[in-house]
Structure 1
Amino acid sequence: MSDFIVETDGLTKVFKGFTAVDSVSLRIRRGSVHALIGPNGAGKTTCFNLLTKFLEPSRGAIFYNGRDITHTRPADVARLGMVRSFQISATFGHMTALENVRVALQRPLGTSFHFWRSDASLSRLDGRAMELLDDVGLAEFADVPAADLSYGRKRALEIATTLALDPEMLLLDEPTSGMGHEDVGRIAELIQRVARQSGKNRTVLMVEHNLSVVAGLSDTITVLARGQVLAEGPYSEVSSNPEVVEAYMGTGHA
């Protein structure tokens, strides 16, 4: 098995004559935390959407675990073990935190929307649901409706529902966007815990604006500018690259 869980070859996306992603070749190491950063308009979100199959590439190829997934549907990619968490929290507000995770646990069973099932038939999932809530620091909020959770805790709940699918690779779209300092620290700690969870060898790819989060979490950082890879490497190396400082850090995001 290759050391790289995801590889792209010349990945390109053109929108009506505008090239948003231009011949990007990535290699994401298995079991690592990899960040995509760049100034606004750099192409990182488009690249992320290509990898998760929410956009079709104009040219190039995407490989996951050595398998060509360039034209694979998003749902099928998720079944292979690459699962995306969205920038806007995707939970059922009227349901408790426990119920949200329980629904996610039903997905592999093919019963996700069998809401009419009795509590007795679903209660067998409660133990695992509570373990996942505990993993993300939400055990004490198990009976709280998702709508009543703080923004940061909603994001933690979303990560718990994503982990319910037991992904081999977790893709996070700006996981700390819109958060206050306390919530940023909580989510950063959670990502670290999820990535390093014993026995999982889980890979995390994230698009993130907060450089302090990226610096503390990432093994590798890919910097995009104008749709192309500008630099790649550990934070210590990338942050001292003059081109990166000019293109990204000099824009006020540092």
Structure 2
Amino acid sequence: MIKFQIHETRDEMTSPPPILEARGLAKEFRGFAAVDGLNLQVREGSVHALIGPNGAGKTTVFNLLTKVLKPTRGHICFRGNDITAKSTADIARLGVVRSFQISAVFPTLTVKDNLRVALQRPNGLSGQWWKSLNALDRLDERAYSLAEDVDLGKYMKHRAGDLPYGRKRALEIATTLALDPVMLLLDEPLAGMGHEDIEGVTQLIDRVAKGRTVLMVEHNLKVVAKLCDKITVLARGQILAEGTYTEVSSNREVRQAYMGSAA
């Protein structure tokens, strides 16, 4: 088993250790480097953003970290242990849970039943098709608790497909929380939302980040500035800049990548 030796600066010694680390991470598609030698550290308990222009490699990084894609080169470490060879299911069992850009709920099921489906695996009921539906009743208390956490308590009997888009996103976050994640990876959680939903979901992410680590890809820089402790800017599969929002927003190369001008 490979373990990374972490060399910390004086400032880093006062910070929480990295919960997730990538070293030399690369992914090539027929000779094209979508991610090229990425070195990334996500501190435990932080809210960390990956930002960058379209095609920068942000979602590819998520897919590598959660083993949806196999790295061409490099290593991934979680809490000091190398997890590069582990499967997607292994990663989830470690407590690293992700969402996707497209809302992934069961539209014909109620909010309550979506949450009960999500709760089956962590409660040992997944795949037990021979049991009656009454066996799921013991999940109701936790389902209602999750719904309240994301302001969906009054929507429990509504079909998920009938919910406004922002509520669907809230339900998706609730289903990820059903797995009791240590680290939550959110891939563009505000994508496609109107202004009326953005503030509510931003507040929701802020609440669910308490007591866990969040790594998020997000294009809304106002939300990134509000939520995130650290920001990593990607361009062409490589890190262009890292730091606080103030630091990266004043970086000439970052302005060039986003706006085509260093002015």
TM-score, length-scaled by structure 1: 0.93
Q: Return the alpha-carbon distance in structure 2 between the equivalents of residues 56 and 234 of structure 1.
A: 30
Within the candidate set 228, 239, 248, 1:238 is matched to: 248
Q: Is 2:186 the partner of 1:172?
A: yes
SS in 2 for 1:42: coil
8 Å CA contact retained: 1:62, 1:68 = yes
Letter in 1 for 2:142: R
Which stretches in structure 1 are left out of the alignment for 5+ residues?
none
Segment drifting more, 101-110 vs 20-29: 101-110
CA shift for structure 1 position 116: 6.2
Aligned to 2:3: none
Aligned to 2:56: 42
Q: Is 2:195 the partner of 1:181?
A: yes
Q: Return the alpha-carbon distance in structure 1 between the equivalents of residues 46 and 95 of structure 2.
A: 15
Q: Return the alpha-carbon distance in structure 1 between the equivalents of residues 91 and 114 of structure 2.
A: 22
Q: Is 2:38 the partner of 1:28?
A: no
Q: Is 2:117 the partner of 1:138?
A: no
Q: Return the alpha-carbon distance in structure 2 between the equivalents of residues 173 and 218 of structure 1.
A: 14
Q: CA RMSD in A?
A: 1.4
Q: Return the alpha-carbon distance in structure 2 between the equivalents of residues 251 and 132 of structure 1.
A: 43
CA shift for structure 1 position 69: 1.0
Give me the identity figure in percent: 64
Within the candidate set 181, 202, 206, 2:216 is matched to: 206
Within the candidate set 63, 80, 88, 1:74 is matched to: 88
SS in 2 for 1:60: strand
8 Å CA contact retained: 1:94, 1:146 = yes
Letter in 2 for 1:169: M
Which stretches in structure 2 are left out of the alignment for 5+ residues?
1-15
TM-score, length-scaled by structure 2: 0.90
Aligned to 1:162: 176
* Runs of 4+ more than 6 Å apart: none
User: Would you say how many aligned residue pairs link Structure 1 and Structure 2?
Assistant: 246
Within the candidate set 227, 232, 255, 1:222 is matched to: 232
8 Å CA contact retained: 1:103, 1:113 = no
